[in-house]
Chains A and B, each alone.
Chain A
Amino acid sequence: MDDLKWLIAREIPHLRRYARALTRDAEEADDLVQDSLERALRKRHLWQRRGTLRGWLFRMLYHVHLNRRRGESRRPTEPSADGVAAGSAPPAQESYLECLRVADALDRLPASQRDAILLVSLEGMPYDEAAWILDIPIGTLRSRLSRGRDALRRSISARPKPTLLRRVK
């Protein structure tokens, strides 16, 4: 394995995480990552070392994701926990339910807001890099984040609190 491949390989877990959150389907997420990696390998001579390798890979993944999303019917709107960290036991059941509510609320957001929130909040991308990955101006990114996160907040607080919520000590 040459060194670029090694560097790409170490990003796979992060690409998988973002893809999983985007698609909420483990299989579909790995399809997406696979397409992206194949594309990245074909185009790796274009890797200009402007920006980070990670950003470049995410940009590629997002591009592939958009293409796939356009080509497919919308994914089922009924959210499920299937795609969420499949195979790993949730650490605490009640707080996990709370987390699922966030995921469900996220699912009801416009895709453009959801994609941006996941990139920044989950993947920790700097704003400028996230804007580049999503191919939007940074101001647009900020307003998507702001609108999306407020909508999330309202959406979550508008729903009845689950009785399983962790008790405040």
Chain B
Amino acid sequence: MSERRPPICEFDLLAYADDRLEPGRRVEVDDYLATDPAAAARVAAFRRQTEALHRLYDPVLEEPVPERLSSLLERPRRRVFVPLLRLAAVIVLTIGAGSAGWWLRGQGDGSRLAAEAFLDRAGRAAVHPGAGFPHARVVDLSDGPVEAPDLRSHGYRLATISRTDDKAPLIRLDYEGSHGAISLFMGVLPRERTAPKAFGQGGGGLWWVDGPYVYALAGADPNLGALAEAVRRQTVLSATEPFPPLATTVDAGNRTGSVKPDSVPDPGGVELLPDLSTGQL
């Protein structure tokens, strides 16, 4: 039998059953459970409880939302609160115009699928430029507390703002600069498809997922990493939860930690965006 490592407590078993343990501890609990059938049985029972609850209640998720609930959110409001508009600015997805393909490479799980679906929509959606854009204030640098990511210090100026008419917000910002243009899309991933934190790069672009929000950056600029970091720093202010420094190990679960990036040649910012394309998300 293997020697016992630091004592496994009640809460370790609980967190183990709930898949909330960090990987190192999980391995220790694995070892412990191998030596303690009673504890293993308890953990298995906890997991069966969770499965049973899901089997009982998950069908609720598939039910159509009753009209009396959905109508609450469709009732027109006279004015939209600025802090709420700010939320829209969080939802940032930057990709090079028409170059969604890079995004689709290199990731291997639900996060990628979500991204694919999203970008598929981004690619197909009709985008209406300029005037009439209901979120202009959100991203209009001249008017309001909510700024579009300001990339002027990197030589990029915001050129146009546009959005789709879809009920799911999809906002696009085009920047123009010395290395050409980059386009910025803002969107939210479907609830079930989101990853807590994820990063990736490839095909000349960088992307990251923060809860329901997707961020990505692509373009011909060699300093793409620095641009992405600038976008990230500015959007994180209104993010729904603190975003850990990208340079540090991604917490929790089975994701890999910080991985040396390889393909984006900017030393200033790119190391802050680890390439997790080889890792599980």
B164, chain A: closest CB distance, angstroms: 13
Q: How large is the interface on B (under 10, 10 to 19, 20 to 34, 35 or more residues)?
A: 35 or more
8 Å CB contacts to A: which residues of B195-236? 211-212
Residues of A within 8 A of B58 (CB): 17, 85
A32, chain B: closest CB distance, angstroms: 11
Chain A 1-34, CB-CB to B under 8 Å as 1, else 0, gives: 1111111111111101100110000000010011
CA A16 – CA B58 in complex, angstroms?
10
Given A3-B88, A30-B66, A121-B53, answer yes or no on A37-B73 (Cβ-Cβ < 8 Å): yes
Q: Which of A11, A13, A52 contacts B60 (CB 8 A)?
A: A13
B118, chain A: closest CB distance, angstroms: 14
Residues of B within 8 A of A98 (CB): 52
Q: Which of A13, A87, A102 contacts B52 (CB 8 A)?
A: A102
8 Å CB contacts to A: which residues of B216-268? 238-241
CA A106 – CA B53 in complex, angstroms?
10
8 Å CB contacts to B: which residues of A85-140? 85, 87-88, 91, 95-96, 98-103, 106, 117-118, 120-122, 126-127
CB <8 Å contact, A10 and B72: no
CB <8 Å contact, A33 and B84: no
Q: Which of B45, B70, B190 contacts A12 (CB 8 A)?
A: B70
Residues of A within 8 A of B124 (CB): none
| B20 interface contact, C-beta 8 A | yes
Q: Which of A21, A145, A156 contacts B57 (CB 8 A)?
A: A21
CB <8 Å contact, A10 and B70: no
Residues of A within 8 A of B77 (CB): 2
CB <8 Å contact, A20 and B81: no
CA A149 – CA B17 in complex, angstroms?
11
Q: Which of A9, A51, A96, A126 contacts B73 (CB 8 A)?
A: A9
CB <8 Å contact, A34 and B68: yes
Number of A interface residues at 8 Å Cβ cutoff, please give it.
62
| A159 interface contact, C-beta 8 A | no
Residues of B within 8 A of A3 (CB): 84-85, 87-88, 91, 135, 169
| A45 interface contact, C-beta 8 A | yes
Q: Which of B20, B61, B87, B190 contacts A49 (CB 8 A)?
A: B87
CB <8 Å contact, A142 and B11: yes
Chain A residue, CB-CB nearest to B186: A3
CB <8 Å contact, A41 and B60: no
Chain A residue, CB-CB nearest to B75: A41
CB <8 Å contact, B50 and A7: no
CB <8 Å contact, A122 and B73: no
Q: Which of B11, B66, B81, B240 contacts A53 (CB 8 A)?
A: B240
Residues of A within 8 A of B72 (CB): 34, 37-38, 41
CA A118 – CA B53 in complex, angstroms?
8
Given A6-B168, A84-B57, A85-B57, answer yes or no on A152-B239 (Cβ-Cβ < 8 Å): no
Contacts from B to A (Cβ < 8 Å): 10-11, 14-15, 17-18, 20, 42, 45-46, 48-50, 52-63, 65-66, 68-70, 72-74, 77, 80-81, 83-88, 91, 135, 167-169, 188, 190-191, 211-212, 238-241
**Can you name 10 A-B residue pairings with CB atoms under 8 Å?**
A6-B168, A21-B53, A38-B72, A41-B73, A49-B83, A50-B241, A85-B60, A99-B52, A118-B53, A153-B45
